[in-house]
């Protein structure tokens, strides 16, 4: 019997007055309900914002070290519940259990990292031109932060937004993706058990157009941090910006991996498959364009296809599964649409392209690892984010051509090159239009202590994680004291 999770507002678990719920289904077994959440109303969101605003007054007055203790306690509780959270994630959005455990562990590490942040410097002394004065800057919280998250990292993304927001003295309202809400509720249970003061952490579920839009519009919400699709992100930015709020948008990617003729081909093949197809291609940092120098194109393609054929696709709960299903029906249909589009526009299907229906796979949203050959920059599959297990092979002659093709998209999140040539590496670092630049490593993969974010249409140019998070989640007072 599945559980129905409630909203967590002002320190109380609450049922929505709408009387409606939203249910999450297992993408590996479409008829299995993983859990349900509240389909909340705009009034309930406004109540959450009022509670968060009230709680922020006392929360910001606590010493940073004390706020850090709460974060650390939440981390310890999450550690105790790691298995359950990871299992829920695999059942709700399909990624393999080891990946789900890895993500949950990442969430715990982020909480610990930001717990320590409460005792680090929060300003600078600046020499005044008046020798008898003391001048310094001091970082202060923004107030109430609205957190809107996608389904692809239902633990790590909420935590990498909530943890810095809280440690710097803000209170938060989390609105998770509907398709990841049950997993997010499990995370919020850990925060509840960590005894945060009432109203500091609030959780409200419901449709994006009501609760997400409401967070963008509510004047008690001083800042909104968002990860998800471009259209929704831009709309949120416009609304929050127009009312003078602060916003941070992390959106799509169309990440290139460049394979130079002098590279270690085996390593490049492994990184292409891991960076492109792990999590079923549903990471915003996944490689989707594989730009290969013509001298090794055929050799690389042959190795890539051979290894891709060895990938085991199945239920993320099975130990043998390397790649799970698409996370939900909408995503499954999107991937099929792009595969058809690739064929229509003249790309050659070199591997896969079909739904998998053998045995138990018929109950889920499975698509074969798919590789297109002869892809050119003018094709839709070379321009738009697919968010699925689809790789597009593109042939170029020189590294300069490769970088030009890599930059020929509206996005600029992550990019990688495989080469041993230091000149190529330096040119790539300089010329590639991406926030995450990776050499001899897959495009996916971020470290929590380093800045994360994209260029061009991938981001609003602010950065998340590590010390960079401070920029978004605080503002500054410049203090001048004269005796
Ligand atoms: P969305 O942008 O639709 O959803 C992200 C979050 O925004 C969810 O919490 C969603 O709620 C909420 N939301 C939806 N509509 C609104 C609105 N009008 N106002 C405010 N908030 C809203 O992304 P999806 O999760 O549907 O994924 C779609 C595409 O986005 C993917 O195919 C992929 O291309 C991209 N994506 C990119 C990610 C990244 O990390 N860069 C991550 C995930 C997706 P609800 O779930 O209730 O609709």
Query: Is ligand 1 within 6 A of the CB of residue 168?
Result: no
According to the model, what pLDDT value does residue 82 have? 98
Q: How far apart are CA 175 and CA 136, in angstroms?
A: 36
According to the model, what pLDDT value does residue 17 have? 97
User: What is the per-residue pLDDT across 353-409, written as a single tens digit (0 to 9) for each?
Assistant: 999 999 999 999 999 999 999 999 999 999 999 999 999 999 999 999 999 999 999
Q: Supply φ then ψ for residue 143, to 5 degrees.
A: 140, -115
Q: Which residue has the higher pLDDT, 461 or 348?
A: 348
Query: Is ligand 1 within 6 A of the CB of residue 281?
Result: no
Cβ contact 348:373 at 8 Å = yes
User: What is the per-residue pLDDT across 412-437, written as a single tens digit (0 to 9) for each?
Assistant: 999 999 999 999 999 999 999 999 99
Of all atoms in ligand 1, which is nearest to the CA of residue 175?
Answer: 9
According to the model, what pLDDT value does residue 400 have? 98
Q: How far apart are CA 398 and CA 134, in angstroms?
A: 57
According to the model, what pLDDT value does residue 403 have? 98
* Ligand 1 geometric centre to CA of 271 (Å): 27
For residue 226, what are the β-bridge partners?
148, 249
Which residue owns the Cα nearest ligand 1 atom 18?
Answer: 209
* Ligand 1 geometric centre to CA of 446 (Å): 21
* Ligand 1 geometric centre to CA of 166 (Å): 23
Q: Are strands 246-250 and 436-439 parallel, antiparallel or unpaired?
A: unpaired
According to the model, what pLDDT value does residue 416 have? 98
CA 207, chain centre distance (Å): 19
According to the model, what pLDDT value does residue 176 have? 98
CA 412, chain centre distance (Å): 15
State both tokens at 357. Answer: 């229906």
User: What is the per-residue pLDDT across 106-119, written as a single tens digit (0 to 9) for each?
Assistant: 999 999 999 999 99
Element (H, E) at 341: helix 329-344
The stretch 19-23 carries a mean pLDDT of: 98
SS3 for 243?
Answer: coil
Q: How far apart are CA 339 and CA 370, in angstroms?
A: 8
According to the model, what pLDDT value does residue 181 have? 98
The stretch 85-95 carries a mean pLDDT of: 98
**Percent of the chain whose pLDDT exceeds 90:** 99
Query: Is ligand 1 within 6 A of the CB of residue 232?
Result: yes
Q: What is the Cβ-side half-sphere exposure of residue 436, based on CA atoms within 13 angstroms?
A: 32
According to the model, what pLDDT value does residue 227 have? 98
Q: Supply φ then ψ for residue 350, to 5 degrees.
A: -95, -20
The pTM score is: 0.98
Query: Is ligand 1 within 6 A of the CB of residue 452?
Result: no
The stretch 53-68 carries a mean pLDDT of: 98
Average pLDDT, the chain: 98
Query: Is ligand 1 within 6 A of the CB of residue 385?
Result: yes
Which residue owns the Cα nearest ligand 1 atom 48?
Answer: 208
Query: Is ligand 1 within 6 A of the CB of residue 251?
Result: yes
State both tokens at 450. Answer: 């380093």
Which residue owns the Cα nearest ligand 1 atom 44?
Answer: 228
Which residue owns the Cα nearest ligand 1 atom 13?
Answer: 208
Q: How far apart are CA 123 and CA 137, in angstroms?
A: 5
According to the model, what pLDDT value does residue 16 have? 98
Which residue owns the Cα nearest ligand 1 atom 15?
Answer: 208
According to the model, what pLDDT value does residue 483 have? 86
* Ligand 1 geometric centre to CA of 422 (Å): 39
* Ligand 1 geometric centre to CA of 150 (Å): 5
> Which letter, b or e, does each residue of 262-285 get, where b requires 16 or more Cβ atoms within 10 Å of its Cβ?
ebebeebbebbbbbbbbbbbbbbb
Provide the annotated active-site residues: 250, 284
According to the model, what pLDDT value does residue 377 have? 98
According to the model, what pLDDT value does residue 2 have? 86
User: What is the per-residue pLDDT across 155-212, written as a single tens digit (0 to 9) for each?
Assistant: 999 999 999 999 999 999 999 999 999 999 999 999 999 999 999 999 999 999 999 9
Sole residue written with tokens 């070290």 = 65
The DSSP-derived string for 373-438 is: ES--TTSGGGTS---SSEEEEEEESSHHHHHHHHHSSSEESEEEEE-S-HHHHHHHHHH---SEEE
User: What is the per-residue pLDDT across 25-50, written as a single tens digit (0 to 9) for each?
Assistant: 999 999 999 999 999 999 999 999 99
Q: How far apart are CA 457 and CA 260, in angstroms?
A: 27
The DSSP-derived string for 285-339 is: T-EEEEEEEGGGHHHHHHHHHHHHTT--B--TTSTT-SB---SSHHHHHHHHHHH
* Ligand 1 geometric centre to CA of 467 (Å): 26
Q: How far apart are CA 448 and CA 102, in angstroms?
A: 13
According to the model, what pLDDT value does residue 359 have? 96
- Quick one: pLDDT band at residue 441, thresholds 50, 70, 90? very high
According to the model, what pLDDT value does residue 268 have? 98
Query: Is ligand 1 within 6 A of the CB of residue 177?
Result: yes
Which residue owns the Cα nearest ligand 1 atom 38?
Answer: 228
Q: How far apart are CA 73 and CA 306, in angstroms?
A: 47
Using N-to-C axis directions, what is the helix angle for 64-80 and 156-167, rounded to 10°? 160
Q: Are strands 223-227 and 246-250 parallel, antiparallel or unpaired?
A: parallel
According to the model, what pLDDT value does residue 226 have? 98
Res. 455: pLDDT tops 80:
yes
SS3 for 368?
Answer: coil
Query: Is ligand 1 within 6 A of the CB of residue 212?
Result: yes
Q: How far apart are CA 384 and CA 63, in angstroms?
A: 46
E-assigned strand segments in 168-296: 171-175, 201-203, 223-227, 246-250, 255-259, 287-293
User: What is the per-residue pLDDT across 247-270, written as a single tens digit (0 to 9) for each?
Assistant: 999 999 999 999 999 999 999 999
* Ligand 1 geometric centre to CA of 210 (Å): 13
Pocket test for ligand 1, best of 16, 208, 252 (most atoms within 8 A of CB): 208
């Amino acid at each position: 019997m599945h559980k129905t999770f409630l909203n967590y507002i002002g320190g109380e678990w609450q049922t929505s007055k709408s009387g409606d719920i939203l249910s999450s289904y297992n993408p590996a077994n479409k008829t299995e309900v993983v859990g349900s959440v509240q389909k909340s109303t705009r009034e309930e969101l406004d109540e959450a914002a009022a509670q968060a605003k009230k709680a922020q007054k006392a929360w910001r007055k606590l010493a940073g070290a004390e706020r850090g203790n709460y974060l650390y306690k939440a981390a310890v509780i999450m550690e105790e519940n790691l298995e359950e959270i990871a299992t829920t994630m695999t059942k709700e959005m399909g990624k393999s259990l080891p990946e789900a455990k890895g993500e949950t562990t990442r969430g715990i590490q982020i909480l610990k990292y930001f717990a320590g942040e409460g005792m680090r410097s929060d300003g600078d002394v600046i020499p005044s031109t008046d020798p008898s004065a003391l001048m310094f800057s001091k970082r202060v919280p923004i107030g109430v932060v609205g957190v809107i998250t996608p389904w692809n990292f239902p633990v790590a993304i909420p935590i990498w937004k909530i943890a810095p927001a809280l440690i710097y003295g803000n209170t938060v309202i989390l609105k998770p993706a509907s398709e990841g809400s049950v997993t997010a509720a499990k995370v919020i249970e850990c925060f509840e058990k960590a005894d945060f003061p009432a109203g500091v952490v609030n959780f409200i579920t419901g449709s994006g157009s009501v609760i997400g839009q409401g967070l963008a519009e509510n004047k008690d919400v001083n800042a909104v941090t968002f990860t998800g699709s471009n259209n929704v992100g831009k709309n949120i930015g416009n609304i929050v910006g127009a009312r003078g709020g602060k916003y941070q948008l992390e959106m799509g990617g169309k990440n290139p991996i460049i394979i130079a003729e002098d590279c270690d081909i085996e390593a490049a093949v492994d990184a292409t498959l891991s960076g492109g197809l792990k999590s079923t291609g549903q990471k915003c940092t996944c490689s989707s364009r594989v730009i290969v120098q013509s001298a090794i194109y055929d050799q690389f393609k042959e190795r890539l296809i051979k290894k891709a054929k060895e990938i085991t696709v199945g239920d993320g709960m099975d130990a043998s599964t390397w790649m799970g299903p698409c996370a939900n029906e909408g995503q499954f249909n999107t991937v099929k649409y792009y595969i058809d589009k690739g064929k229509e526009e003249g790309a050659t299907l070199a591997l896969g392209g079909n739904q998998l229906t053998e045995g138990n796979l018929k109950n889920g949203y499975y698509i074969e690892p798919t590789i297109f050959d002869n892809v050119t920059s003018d094709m839709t599959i070379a321009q738009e984010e697919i968010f699925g297990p689809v790789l597009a092979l593109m042939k170029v002659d020189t590294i300069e051509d490769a970088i030009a093709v890599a930059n020929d998209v509206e996005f600029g999140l992550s990019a990688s090159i495989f080469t041993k040539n230091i000149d190529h590496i330096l040119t790539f670092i300089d010329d590639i239009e991406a926030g995450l630049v990776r050499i001899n490593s897959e495009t996916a993969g971020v470290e929590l202590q380093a800045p994360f974010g994209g260029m061009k249409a991938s981001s609003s140019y602010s950065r998340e994680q590590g010390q960079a998070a401070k920029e978004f989640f605080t503002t500054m007072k410049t203090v001048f004291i004269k005796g």
